[in-house]
Amino acid sequence: MKLNTINAESGKGERLDVFITKQVQEISRTTVKKMISQGLVFVDGVVAKPSLLLEGTEHVSFTLLSTETTTNKIEPEKMSLKILYEDNHLIAINKNAGITVHPGAGQNSGTLVNGLLFHFNKLSDINGSFRPGIVHRLDKDTSGVILIAKNNGAHIHLSKQFEERVIKKKYFAITWGIFDKESGEIVSPIARSKKDPTSFIINDKGKDSKTSFSSKPLGQYTSEVSFFPLTGRTHQIRVHSASMGNPIFGDKKYGGGKNKSKGFMPEVSKKLNRILTSLGRHALHAETITFIHPREQKEITISAEIPKELLSVKNDLTKLHA
């Protein structure tokens, strides 16, 4: 399935579902609403509601429903899940890198949702049949703790905490280069790239975004960083880190891949490339999340241990010298 992206300039003041129906005349408004309910429509990278009123500055991305997509349901798939916490209201999973959170453009299987449907009989359905239980998301190659709602009450409560920035998250990361200071804040608005709708950039017309951090050198060429996102934009940590000249180690999309190893002494470049190849992902991990339990109304912190492959890379980079 192809991801289509259109500028919403001509749709200022219109509902999202009305705008898409006008732009794509071969599909009905009912089909558009079904696309939105299944998580196949994004406004500036975020799943939106049919009733959203467009401001005219957004980029609307969507995948057209084929007959096959319309009739098929997301099937449960046997999958090993690392359950960190579970009660009658929510689940916390330690997601592996390489796993997409929910079905979307061109992928209906092998996602975390497929695994959740195999293990759990009831999940919240506020976000539609393609996103049961999904309150928030992690990028495919980001590992770590993610919260899943078992019922709509818990989903609404947790979503409100994200919206009001009550939830606190800490990420472990390895970045290229040594940070100029040990701690600070990155305050830079983020917008979708017009050249590549799957990427995001720093842009004054973007959405307000803030990330705090603490860092320490990791050998001569990299840093170990704790990131604390204070807003929840798509790719926020990856974009903010790259904007400082310190892209996430292994993050090809934002300049943290093998091209970054050029310019070093040949032997150093060779070792860095070998480490990147062995890693096979970007070095970003959602380490902890702190939230108010939707029923018990008490603060809970859940942690996901740093994966062995990241600890191994950390050790290799610490010992790497010119």
**304 located within any domain:** no
User: Residue 117: its pLDDT value, please?
Assistant: 96
* Amino acid identity, position 299: E
Q: For 257-285, what is each residue's pLDDT tens digit?
A: 999 999 899 999 999 999 999 999 999 99
> Would you place residue 69 in the very low, low, confident or very high pLDDT band (cuts 50, 70, 90)?
very low
User: Residue 26: its pLDDT value, please?
Assistant: 62
pTM (predicted TM-score): 0.80
DSSP annotation of 205 = T
Domain hosting residue 28, numbered range: 3-71
Q: For 95-148, what is each residue's pLDDT tens digit?
A: 999 999 988 766 789 999 999 999 999 999 887 777 899 999 999 999 999 999
Residues 108, 177, single domain; the answer is no
Count up the domains in the chain and report the number: 3
Provide the strand spans (E) within 152-199: 168-176, 183-187, 190-192
Task: Return the structure tokens found at 48.
Answer: 């939106």
- Region of 79 on the Ramachandran plot (φ > 0 left; ψ -120 to 50 alpha; else beta): beta
Q: What is the mean pLDDT of residues 205-224?
A: 96
Enzyme catalytic residues? 139
End residue of a domain, out of 130, 164, 198: 164
CATH value at residue 260: 3.30.2350.10
Percent above pLDDT 90 for the chain: 70
- Report d(CA 162, CA 47) in Å as an integer: 14
Q: For 234-260, what is each residue's pLDDT tens digit?
A: 999 999 999 999 999 999 999 999 999
Task: Return the structure tokens found at 119.
Answer: 């293990």
